[in-house]
Each structure stands twice: as C-alpha cells, then as structure tokens.
Structure 1
Amino acid sequence: MGKRLLSSGELAVELGISRRSISRYADEGLISVALVAPGGRYKFDLDVVRNELRELAEKRREGRS
C-alpha cells in the first residue's frame, strides 16, 4: 500500500504550524510538494517534509541559511 499524501491543512496540523507557513515553505522551495492535485492543491509526504524541515533547522543552527 502506498503512502497517504496530506493536504497543506493536514500537514500543518501534524507539524503544529500554520497552513500559511506550509504554503510559503512550498512556494519558496523549502519543502517538496509530492503532488499537485486538481485545482492546484498541493499534497505532501509527511516523512519527506519532516526530514526537509529538520535539515533546514540544522543548517540554520550552523549559520548556513
């Protein structure tokens, strides 16, 4: 069975951040969009996004933003 893809709202709830932040991060290329659904709605893989945000936080801590 394949992984379930999350909407920006579902992802925001899982990560404890705003939906607007999710959309901004995706638009800025900071997180990967797994699929663009009909109507232009983004779908995300939770595990992939968690890893990307973890790597981004590590880079910022190291001063390499």
Structure 2
Amino acid sequence: MQEDRRGRLHSTGEVARELGVSTRALSRWAKEGSLTPALVTPGGRYKWDLEDVRRQLRDMR
C-alpha cells in the first residue's frame, strides 16, 4: 500500500495487511483502548489513519 499523506482513512483490513497484524488484533486493541481509531462509523466499523496507528504502536512498546 502506498502511503497517503493526505489523511486518507483506511479500513481495518488495509491497516492490518500493511502492518502485518490480524484484523482481530486491531479491533481488540481498539476495544481495549490501546489503539484509538481516527473514526468509528455509525455501523461500528473502525477507520484508521495509518501514520497515527504506527505512532500509537511505537508508543505502546
């Protein structure tokens, strides 16, 4: 995935593939409060800013 620096929000699947983690892990971390998605849709789906997720993961270490 080419990084989009214009602030495009990505699906959980796109971010999981880019980072090499499972979609379940991303969703679990969001539910636990370890990661904060950029947006939660009215249907409950997470949308992510890839660079923000990378920063949050670095900060978790």
TM-score (norm 2): 0.84
Please give the root-mean-square deviation of Cα atoms over the aligned residues, in Å: 1.5
Long gaps (5+) in structure 1? 58-65
TM-score (norm 1): 0.79
Q: Which has the higher helix share?
A: 1
Query: Which string of whole-angstrom CA distances, capped at 9 and with x for unpartnered residues, describes residues 26-62 of structure 1?
Result: 11111111111231111011111101101111xxxxx
Please say which structure displays the higher CA radius of gyration. Answer: 1
Long gaps (5+) in structure 2? none
| Residue matched to 2:28 | 24
Percent of paired sites with the same residue: 54
Matched, 1:36 2:40: yes
